[in-house]
Structure 1
Amino acid sequence: MKVLAIDTSSVVATCAVLDEEKLLGEYTLNQDMTHSERLIPMIKTLMDSLKLKPEDIDLFAGSVGPGSFTGLRIGLATIKGLAHVVDKSVIGISTLEALAFNVPFDGIVIPIMDARRDRVYTGIYRWENGKLLNIMEPTILNIDELLDIVDSKYEKVLFNGDGTLVFKDRIDEKLKDKALYAPISLNMAKASSIGELALLKWEEGSQENYFNLSPDYLRESQAQRQLNEKR
């Protein structure tokens, strides 16, 4: 069973193809280009390199957020369009769950994504017996509020995500040696993590219709907030 997975929730654009328990290929770029410019060429390059066509893919997967509003819309429109053309199922994966899945750490993993204004998108996850469990649902919090929760509940945690670059000094000041950090390569979205999670959820019976798959922003867009303020 082949899965095409993508993640465009941040400045990173990444796509991967998995076949059951094997990663066939992955393409990741972290540079200042728009996803509308690079995503389709990346997918085509990867698929051509693997000598695959869209009809060879059995399941399509994409990150549903949180993250960049524009990036998520572009990514999900792409994955839904491909699934629609070949009439295959899609599965949406939380960006935060995928980040936590990058790091099979024996303990608490806390992905943090910069949400501006001293806030982070975050969740709290724990690995148990080789399975990733969600123990705090994805949410948006002030970084100090998150650190208070962590300091009061946990002895050792591992952080990953782009928020670690923004808030590392404050994390260290508050948590000191309670805080560990993932390697640089595991701070970014990985389409392979999206794809593997999608396979696991498929095996559990999950699937979604490409008409209904939608982003999970966790907050209103800036344009919507400005409109509400005017009202």
Structure 2
Amino acid sequence: MLLALDTSTRFASIALYDDRGVQGEHTWRAEQNHTEDLLPHIVGLMEAARVVPSDLTGIAVAIGPGSFNGLRVALAAAKGLAIALHIPLAGVSTLEAVAYQHGSLSLPVRPILEGGSDQVATALYRVVRNHWAQLEEPALMTVEQVCQATTTRTLFCGEIGAQVASEVRRRLDSLAIIAPPAANARRAGYLAELGWYRIHDGLVDDPATLQPLYLRRPHITEPRRSTIGRD
């Protein structure tokens, strides 16, 4: 049984997955309460599925991009569980997990996570010769740059605000298909499936070295130097 954890943004999601598929899933609006919410939700999900820690055989975790603090909550929990239970860990891009929800479509899929400063975090994925493939690396782009890079009919998905959606529609018209809100909810069952395949293919991460994927350096305010006692 694999446990998947995603606290990348104000929405969080967790799931249990095995060779039968998703065995339990919970998605909620965490806002800034990832630290307080995550453990109780994991316990509740495992109890509902009648799963105990010793049943877990792997951990999948969304590594970003996303919020600085949010990403670190799931990552710390995933690393701790992997080390304590001696089970493999797979880190998965949050953008890939978003896009994979729509992987059955015969279209390029462009996930969007709003990145602040008039930019979005994005990448591009598509099924190529029956294999799920990443066509563009995760990057920060303006909406104008995203639209300039879109030359064929593409599905846009993810946490797309009304302003971004409106601009994409205006610039791309029929080239852009924007997934409806319910289809844009980030579900950890898809993250779990990606992690399940990676672990079974031997593509595991070292808990000691796995890091969150930040596309922008976190803003850290320099402490002011004291002027007490100076002329």
Q: Same fold (TM over 0.5)?
A: yes
Residue 161 of structure 1: aligned partner: 158
User: Which of the two has higher C-alpha Rg?
Assistant: 2
The residue type equivalent to 2:137 in the other structure is: E
Alignment partner, residue 180 of structure 2: 183
- Amino acid in the other structure paired with 2:92: I
- 1:103-144 Cα distance to aligned partner (Å, 9 max, x none): 122111000110011100000111234432111111111111
2:114 corresponding residue in structure 1: 114
1:8-19 alignment, distance < 5 Å: 8-19=7-18
Deviation of 1:165 after TM superposition, in Å, equals 3.5
Mapped partners of 1:226, 1:196: distance in 2: 44
Higher mean C-alpha displacement, 127-136 vs 43-52: 127-136
Q: SS of 1:223's equivalent? A: coil
State the Cα RMSD in Å.
Answer: 1.8
Inter-partner Cα distance in structure 1 for 2:84 and 2:110 = 37
Structure 2 gap segments, 5+ residues each? 225-231
Match of 1:195 in 2: 192
**Residue 59 of structure 1 corresponds to which residue in structure 2?**
58
- 1:22 equivalent to 2:21? Answer yes
Q: State the shift of 1:190 in Å.
A: 1.4
CA contact (8 A) 2:32 2:70 kept: no
User: Following the alignment from structure 2 to structure 1, what is the Cα–Cα distance between the partners of residues 3 and 38?
Assistant: 13
- Range 157-166 or range 92-101, more displaced: 157-166
Following the alignment from structure 1 to structure 2, what is the Cα–Cα distance between the partners of residues 211 and 201?
A: 18
Gaps of 5+ in 1: none
Question: Given that residues 106 and 128 in structure 1 are in contact (C-alpha distance below 8 angstroms), is that contact kept between their aligned partners in structure 2?
Answer: no
Per-residue displacement from partner, 1:1-29 (whole Å, max 9, x unpaired)? x1100111011111000012411000110
Quick one: distance in 1 between partners of 2:117 and 2:32?
Answer: 24
The normalised TM-score by structure 2 is: 0.91
2:219 is aligned with 1:222: yes
Relative to structure 1, is the Cα distance of residues 225 and 142 closer, same or farther in structure 2, using a 3 angstrom cutoff? farther
Task: Please list the CA deviations of residues 141-163 of structure 1 after superposition, one character each: whole Å capped at 9, or x if unmatched.
Answer: 1111111111xxx2200000113
| Structure 1 runs of 4+ with >4 Å offset | 224-227
Percent of pairs identical after alignment?
A: 31
| Alpha-carbon contact 1:120-1:163 (below 8 Å) kept | no
TM value normalised by structure 1: 0.91
The answer on 1:96 being equivalent to 2:95 is yes
TM-superposition CA deviations, 1:53-94 (whole Å, max 9, x none): 122100001000000110000110011111111111100000
Q: Which residue of 2 aligns with 1:133?
A: 133
Distance 1:21 1:226 in 2: 53
Take 1:164 and 1:111, find their aligned partners in 2: how far apart are those partners? 13
